[in-house]
Amino acid sequence: MSFYSDSNVQTHYFDPKTYADATHLNSSGRVNFELDGTKLAYLPNMRLLNVGVTSNGAHIYNRLVGAYSMIRTIRLLDGNTELSALNEAQLYRGFLNTNYQNAKNETVKSHLARNSLGWTINGADRKVGRVEAVGGATALESTTKLAWLDLREVFPILNSVSHLPTSVFKNLNVQIELHSGLDRQILIDVTAEIKSVRPILAVDVMSNPNIVSKLNKGLTSARWLEVEHDLFIIPQSANDGGAGDQPGGIGLVQEVNVKLNGFNNKHLERMVIVKEIANPVKELNGNVQRGFGRYSSQCCYRQTLQTRVNGRNIFPRNGITGNNERTAFLIDAYGDMTVYPGFNLYGFVAANIIEDGVDYRGQLDYMGVYLGEYINDLQINYSRTGLQATAGAGLKRATTDRLNAHCFAEVAKQIIIRPDGSYIIEYAQA
């Protein structure tokens, strides 16, 4: 452990207490950081450094998720008490990476995450192209490009507290589950041999007892929006893109009506749905990822979405039916997005508009809604229209293939700190 110091704050760098690396052969790795309980307090601006892999050659990371694709689950705990956590982190991180203005992704965020987001116009052919000058994995740890992650982006509780006093949180630790199997598509060449790099945790320590004492008096409670995960399946169509999916030239409508029980008895704010292709091999061209690979959110043909909360439709009439209408609701809920022509369109002819347009069309079709209600019953009514597709084993048919619909929703939680320093964490009712 080393540190940088001014008079009141010291920056400490922690190596993992335990570390099991992840490789293409041994795909599951674990990292555990234990913070020093003898310090007075920690600031919430924790940073995870040196996130990434080495490889048997020069390869770039997944273009959407970047080096963050290593992280499957990440948890902040006090002893065995979970303070905050993010499950299925790769898919949600892919969405969050797009949730910035294009200029910020191009100049800052893509370099921190080691992804390829940030779009520009090629002056020669006037096509929309990607920024890819952010580097990737190499054979040597000294030359491989590694990511930097602000943990406030994955642990929302850290945005709601002024500090983390060790008189309250006596055994702070960060646990990370890594996943580096070839099927996770960490690098765009899925045959590349990889090995995780040992990460470092950077934390700021408050050393002035007078300041900590004053801050402790004001730390009695906090409220935040925890991101929780649920899942439903959009099954493969009965004919899997065969002629029966388009009888008489009219597409067969597939309807999926499900209840999401994971958010019951919780106050839910925003929710985003990521439609992952169930068979990630279908996002490969040989050994190389098409577009954003398995972390894409697939666009389908003639989609509709209706959300029912406590027996009431959220959207009028038939719900969300248009491509741009779907995107409008997403941006209304979540704000700016880094996108490109055809990102939300099925079968968009993009050859003259965007570089590698066939691979990138319809790959960022997220569905986002704002609910702002206490949930007793949450139903999703989704439909898509099947199309007869070109025959051929292993071809992606997003509008008839099985999709895993991952639902990431913000639920209200709170912490109550008692005068004796004990605390409770519970779901907030409003």
Domain extents in the chain: 2-219, 224-412
The CATH code of domain 2-219 reads: 2.70.9.10
> 224-412: which CATH topology?
Adenovirus Type 2 Hexon; domain 4 (2.70.9)
Calculate the alpha carbon distances from 110 to 101, 116, 201, 338 in Å: 12, 6, 20, 11
Mean pLDDT on 282-308: 94
Residue 413 has what pLDDT? 98
Kindly state the average pLDDT of the residues 31-55. 96
pLDDT of residue 180: 85
Nearest to 236 by CA among 218, 220, 221, 256: 256
- Are the CB atoms for 164 and 78 separated by under 8 Å? no
Q: What pLDDT, on a 0 to 100 scale, did the predictor assign at position 94?
A: 97
The residue type at 404: N
The pTM for the full model equals 0.94
Task: Select the highest-mean-pLDDT range: 331-335, 348-352, 389-393.
Answer: 331-335
Residues 6+ apart with CB under 8 A from 421: 167, 168
CB 386 within 8 A of CB 251: yes
Q: Which of 2-6, 54-58, 219-223 has the lowest mean pLDDT?
A: 2-6
Read off the pLDDT of residues 226-271 as tens digits, 9 standing for 90 and up. 999 999 999 998 777 676 676 666 678 899 999 999 999 999 999 9
User: Are both 2-219 and 224-412 of the same fold?
Assistant: yes
pLDDT of 4 strictly over 60: no
Q: What is the pLDDT of residue 1?
A: 43
Q: How far apart are CA 224 and CA 161, in angstroms?
A: 9
Average pLDDT for residues 57-78, to the nearest whole number? 96
Q: What is the pLDDT of residues 107-116, one digit of tens each?
A: 999 999 999 9
pLDDT (tens digit, 9 = 90+) per residue, 123-153? 788 888 876 666 799 999 999 999 999 999 9
What's the average model confidence in pLDDT over 95-118?
A: 94
If you average pLDDT over every residue of the chain, what do you get? 92
User: 130-149: buried (b, 16+ CB within 10 Å) or exposed (e) per residue?
Assistant: bbeebbbbbeeeeebbbbbb
Give the span between the Cα atoms of 323 and 367, in whole angstroms: 10
Task: Answer with the residue of higher pLDDT: 163 or 132.
Answer: 163
Residue 408: closest CA among 232, 236, 200, 144: 232
